[in-house]
Structure 1
């Protein structure tokens, strides 16, 4: 009998792997609706839906291995990272999906959220004030008007599977929608900053690196408390707090 492996689990959702099947358990069926439709519309490889019986979605496992994992050195080749960048460009140039996206926020709304989160991080003694202040300054470059693109919304390196130098599929589309393309580029390279040039080789060098770096700071600032509250370690080597420290 195949073993049941817990891929990720927290209060919002859980993903299990049983043999060659991923079982995603999510009480928010709107989020699952987005995931299924996004995979059908995206012009890049995605898992095949085997069946759906709320609150469970069953997906076929992708061949290959994850491009990388936060907090661990990536063993993928520069060409694999470039292939991920090329796939991301293809997604961003696709027709917009019909829904707005869960992460669509105007600059003023995002600035207010960042300011509140920075205040909480310092007030609760989670991070030193100088570290928070410096990264809030860096994050300012992300607070600008942007042209909506078809975005994945949570394109961590571990959501991209590769076989050699080829992308075999992209997982976890529940945050997909109309969003800032450079947020996707930043999420893919978060904690793997040394591979940004490889990604841009495939994606295109017209990407604004200052905005990508700003999103590294913004995403990390916004993520620390959520990660702690959901049982993850933002202070682990190579993870969000180390990303923030790299800007000092």
Structure 2
């Protein structure tokens, strides 16, 4: 009998694995619809949809293995990281998805709210929060929207050898800033930044990308703490940004 593995779970969504089948349970029908639509539009390999019966989406496992795990050294080759950068470029050059995503003004308001919560609840030192909030300012500027994955972290990119075999979890896909995806991909894996950029090509502002490291980390700590996850990788990034 095959065991049921809980891949990730919180009160909004859960992903279970049974053999080579992943079962995504999402109570937000609109978000699940958007994920299915984004997978159909994406110019990258995505998991095969085996069946769908809301709130459950059944997906086939992708070949290969994760490019890495948050907070842990990646064992993937430099060439695999180059391929991940090339995949990000291919996505960003695709026609825009329908979801508009957040604009700089909305992000700034969201960031201010999260920073206030982190300080008021003594989750992080005020100096760490305010210092990174200043760095994040560089990301809050007008941008030309592209097709962004929205959560292009290393655990969502699968590789086999030096090739990308697929990308998981398109629930946050929307129009957005290309630097946001690149920051998510290299967050806590800055040692592979040059490889990613070699695959991605021109047009990357390193100051903006680093600003997104601060912005993304500040915005996600509240969620991680509230859902029982360890924010240590993001906190380490925030500390490294200032020292």
- Band of TM-score, shorter chain: over 0.9
Q: Give yes or no for the alignment of 1:200 onto 2:197.
A: yes
Give the structure 2 partner of residue 35 of structure 1: 35
Deviation of residue 139 (structure 1)?
A: 0.3
Q: Secondary structure at the match of 1:15?
A: strand
Q: Secondary structure at the match of 1:5?
A: strand
Match of 2:187 among 187, 190, 204: 190
Deviation of residue 90 (structure 1)?
A: 0.3
| Aligned counterparts, 1:203-242, within 5 A | 203-235=200-232, 239-242=233-236
Give the structure 2 partner of residue 243 of structure 1: 237
Deviation of residue 116 (structure 1)?
A: 2.0
Q: Secondary structure at the match of 1:161?
A: strand
Query: How many residues are aligned here?
Result: 242
Q: Give yes or no for the alignment of 1:85 onto 2:79.
A: no
Q: TM-score, structure 1 length as denominator?
A: 0.95
In the alignment, the residues of structure 1 paired with residue 82 and residue 159 of structure 2 have an alpha-carbon distance, to the nearest angstrom, of: 11
Tell me the alpha carbon deviations over residues 156-194 of structure 1, each in whole angstroms, 9 at most, x when there is no partner. Answer: 110000001000000000111211111011011111111
In the alignment, the residues of structure 2 paired with residue 9 and residue 111 of structure 1 have an alpha-carbon distance, to the nearest angstrom, of: 28
**Structure 1's 134 and 164: CA in aligned 2 closer, same or farther, altered over 3 A?**
same
Q: Give yes or no for the alignment of 1:165 onto 2:162.
A: yes
In the alignment, the residues of structure 2 paired with residue 198 and residue 22 of structure 1 have an alpha-carbon distance, to the nearest angstrom, of: 30
Counterpart contact for 2:179–2:204, Cα < 8 Å: yes
Deviation of residue 130 (structure 1)?
A: 1.1
In the alignment, the residues of structure 1 paired with residue 152 and residue 177 of structure 2 have an alpha-carbon distance, to the nearest angstrom, of: 12
Tell me the alpha carbon deviations over residues 81-112 of structure 1, each in whole angstroms, 9 at most, x when there is no partner. Answer: 11000011001000112332xxx222222222
In the alignment, the residues of structure 1 paired with residue 159 and residue 192 of structure 2 have an alpha-carbon distance, to the nearest angstrom, of: 15
Tell me the alpha carbon deviations over residues 40-86 of structure 1, each in whole angstroms, 9 at most, x when there is no partner. Answer: 11111110000001111000000100001111100001110110000
> Unaligned 5+ residue runs, structure 1?
none
Give the structure 1 partner of residue 15 of structure 2: 15
In the alignment, the residues of structure 2 paired with residue 86 and residue 20 of structure 1 have an alpha-carbon distance, to the nearest angstrom, of: 27
In the alignment, the residues of structure 2 paired with residue 49 and residue 194 of structure 1 have an alpha-carbon distance, to the nearest angstrom, of: 34
Q: Give yes or no for the alignment of 1:65 onto 2:65.
A: yes
Q: Secondary structure at the match of 2:180?
A: helix
> Unaligned 5+ residue runs, structure 2?
none
In the alignment, the residues of structure 2 paired with residue 245 and residue 205 of structure 1 have an alpha-carbon distance, to the nearest angstrom, of: 28
Counterpart contact for 2:180–2:212, Cα < 8 Å: yes
Give the structure 1 partner of residue 44 of structure 2: 44
The root-mean-square deviation of aligned C-alpha atoms, in Å, is 0.9
Q: TM-score, structure 2 length as denominator?
A: 0.97
Deviation of residue 206 (structure 1)?
A: 2.2
